[in-house]
């Protein structure tokens, strides 16, 4: 359980890292624009530098998550997925369709036919 909270803490900061990278790039660009008088060019340039740093942070976290998931699968021996190829899923769907196409299956088993209002004898 402690391991789960550790993962939440380490991967939960990715959003904060993305925002900080972009904002830091934007503020550095604005500061340079104010110093050099090149308004808005350096702001835009540094915004994209920050965006690139944010993308790199997300990619790094994604790779770490994949490595951790692979390690856990090796250690805990997770079972193989139920359907590992499309052919098996298509065969399963075809079997289900054949079962429901039979005429002896009642479409709504809980529904009863409506009662006749007048019983004619």
pLDDT in tens, 65-101: 889 888 888 888 766 665 566 766 677 777 766 665 5
Question: What is the separation of C-alpha 3 from the centre of its chain, rounded to a whole number of angstroms?
Answer: 21
Q: How far is CA 75 from CA 3, 5, 70, 78, 81, in A?
A: 14, 19, 9, 8, 17
The answer to whether the CB of 20 falls within 8 A of the CB of 63 is no
CB neighbourhood size of 21 (10 A): 20
pLDDT tens digits for 1-38?
A: 566 677 677 778 899 999 999 999 999 999 999 999 98
**pTM across the whole model:** 0.57
pLDDT score recorded for residue 81: 62
pLDDT score recorded for residue 8: 74
Q: Give 103: exposed, middle or buried? Use CB within 10 Å, 0-12, 13-18, 19+.
A: exposed
pLDDT tens digits for 40-50?
A: 999 999 999 99
Residue carrying structure tokens 């660009």: 29
pLDDT score recorded for residue 32: 95
pLDDT tens digits for 27-37?
A: 999 999 999 99
């Amino acid at each position: 359980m402690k391991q789960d909270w550790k993962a939440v803490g380490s991967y939960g900061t990715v959003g904060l890292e993305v925002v900080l990278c972009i904002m830091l790039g934007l503020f550095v660009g604005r500061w340079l624009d104010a110093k050099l008088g090149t308004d808005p060019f350096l702001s835009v340039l540094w915004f994209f530098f920050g965006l690139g740093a944010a993308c790199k942070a997300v990619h790094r976290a994604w790779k770490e998550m994949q490595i951790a998931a692979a390690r856990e699968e090796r250690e805990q021996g997770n079972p193989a997925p139920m359907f590992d190829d499309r052919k098996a899923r298509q065969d399963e769907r075809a079997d289900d369709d054949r079962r429901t196409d039979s005429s002896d299956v009642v479409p709504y088993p809980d529904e009863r036919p409506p009662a006749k209002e007048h019983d004619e004898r």
